[in-house]
Amino acid sequence: MKIAIGSDHAGYELKEHIKAQFADGIEWQDAGTFSNESVDYPDFAHPVAESVSEKKAEKGILICGTGNGVAMTANKHNDVRAALCWNEEIAKLARQHNDANILVMPARFISQELADKIIKCFFTTEFEGGRHALRIAKINIR
**CB atoms closer than 10 angstroms to residue 98:** 17
Which residue of the set 17, 77, 97, 132 is catalytic? Answer: 97
Establish whether 17 is a catalytic residue.
no
User: Torsion-angle region of residue 79: left (phi > 0), alpha (psi -120 to 50) or beta?
Assistant: left
CA distance linking residue 110 with residue 112, whole number of Å = 7
Active site residues: 97
